[in-house]
Amino acid sequence: MRYLYGLRVALVSVEALVLALGCLVWAYLADQLHGFAGSLALNEEVLKYLMFLPTALAVWVFNEIRGLLQEDKDTIQLLINWAGYWRLKAHAWVSLFYAVLFTFISLLPWVTKSGISTGSGMLLFVTSIIGQLSLAISIYLARISLKEIVAHAKSP
């Protein structure tokens, strides 16, 4: 049951939608994307640092998830005793999976030496940036909600 819930979380998410849209664009608009990427004049110095943005977001997501699940001793006690804690952990594990996946996708254009000057490289990079940003926003909002819930539970 818990594995099915984790699978559902992975398949019914904004991140899965971003991946699906990236695949659709690849399948139907690859030629137009290649032409567009070829017409762009990109600064090579900026591109060197831009490739680290999804990796930096992934590191931030890992840190925030660690903080989400292990805030402090009182929060941990509240979370562990909460009946829905396993759901929170399932969402956290799926988020970690997507963070690693989007980081891998963002590094593919540089590993293959094509960069983002090609249509496929630009699509991979833009998909990973959008995916990591949606993941970071989700984690940030979850962290805020959890702090509010814990503060409400601690108040008399």
Half-sphere exposure of 90 (CA within 13 A, CB side): 16
Does the pTM surpass 0.85? The reply is yes
Q: What does the pLDDT look like over 85-134, one tens digit per residue?
A: 889 899 999 999 999 999 999 888 888 777 777 778 888 888 999 999 99
| pLDDT for residue 12 is more than 90 | yes
Higher pLDDT, 62 or 156: 62
pLDDT value, residue 105: 92
**Residues of 50-66 as b/e, b for ≥16 C-beta within 10 angstroms?**
ebeebbebbebbeebbe
Q: How confident is the model at residue 3 (pLDDT cuts 50, 70, 90)?
A: confident
- pLDDT score of 100: 95
**The pLDDT value given to residue 46:** 73
Question: Which of these, 126, 134, 131, 133, lies nearest to 108 by C-alpha position?
Answer: 126
Q: What radius of gyration, in Å, describes the C-alpha atoms of the chain?
A: 19
> Both ends of the chain: CA-CA distance in Å?
35
Condensed to tens digits (0 to 9), the pLDDT of residues 30-71 reads 778 777 766 666 667 777 778 888 999 999 999 999 888 887
